Amino acid sequence: MIIFKKRTDLTAYLKQFSASKSIGFVPTMGALHNGHASLIERATFENDVCVCSIFVNPTQFNDPTDYNKYPQILDADIEFLTHHRLDILFAPSVDEMYPFGLLQMDRYNLAELENKMEGKFRPGHFQAVCHIVHQLLLSVNPHNLYMGEKDFQQIAVIRKLLQLTNSTTKLIPCPTLREESGLAMSSRNKRLSVSARKKAKLLYEILMLIKENQDRDSFKKVRQKAMDILADAGFYTEYITLCIADTLEEEEEFNSNKKQRLLLAAQLEGVRLIDNIAI
Ligand code: AMP
């Protein structure tokens, strides 16, 4: 595995591949787990060369505590990536990605996409995500970009970013990897106590419970029941939203004729967890 810290070095190295060989790219914030590995394995299989980046982007955290507590374990990640036979790792510093300071960011017209669900509870989050992904794409110039459906709204936002920037990169959404318990794998799970980690599987169970009740009750009613169960178990629920999968337009009711997606965010022990399933 070759490790790059500087954008110019990475771009110069990748130039040799861009014409004749395909580059697959997996951007991450590190603290890697098997969910990340599934993206890397797919990108490696489907491309001539696979690039993974590790960069904990400070501007996309609304809460400084969340940023400071985000697990940063580069040495362990390098071991993990070596084991998974990654070709190229890009691990830049904050100064490298923000040479003109953290306030120097482009603005993207994401319209309604940035104000709902994650955007509503994390103002400015998706602008910062777009900024960093755009900068990473300029450095890597990949043919294929692999992102997890675990961050379902992020996929819609990045699809929009690719449109806005007339990018030729193809976005490839990948399914969510789960623990045996059903809990979606996430770097944030590392911050949960042993008992909270056991409890956190309730999020997936709740999504499944709502799905299973779609023919029996109204969405409003099942959602309220789900909120009550989560509150009783000690979760603080930010949202449980039903929407059209492609546009993320909010839906009031289940509709089996439409491709719908159910998304939620909830906090447990102050750790923010998200998950979603197809309905
Ligand atoms: P992160 O390091 O959390 O920013 O995630 C980097 C990429 O890995 C994003 O595209 C995520 O959607 C994806 N990812 C995170 N968790 C999972 C998971 N459990 N299954 C599949 N992909 C994931």
Q: What are the tens digits of pLDDT across the range 132-144?
A: 999 999 999 999 9
Residue 150: partners with Cβ closer than 8 Å, 6 or more residues away = 35, 176, 177, 184, 185, 186, 274, 275, 276
Other CB atoms within 10 Å distance of the CB of residue 165: 16
Instruction: With cut-offs at 50, 70 and 90, classify the pLDDT of residue 18.
Output: confident
Q: Which residue has the tokens 């439409």?
A: 258
Query: Strand order in 23-28's β-sheet?
Result: 2-4, 88-90, 49-54, 23-28, 144-148, 170-174
From residue 115, give the alpha-carbon distance in Å to each of 28, 110, 132, 173, 230.
23, 9, 19, 22, 24
Whole-angstrom distance, CA of residue 205 vs CA of residue 225: 13
* This model's pTM is above 0.75: yes
Residue of 33, 36, 86, 145 best suited for mutating to test ligand 1, as the one with most atoms within 8 Å of CB: 36
Asked if pLDDT for residue 3 goes beyond 80, the answer is yes
* Section 142-147 average pLDDT: 98
In this prediction, residues 217-233 reach a mean pLDDT of 97
- pLDDT above 80 for 60: yes
Q: Which residues line ligand 1 (CB under 6 A)?
A: 28-29, 35-36, 38-39, 147-148, 150-151, 174, 176-177, 184-187
Parallel, antiparallel, or unpaired: how do β-strands 88-90 and 236-244 relate? unpaired
Nearest CA to ligand 1 atom 7: 28
Share of the chain above pLDDT 70, in %: 100
Distances (CA, A) of 197 to 33, 189, 208, 234: 15, 7, 18, 13
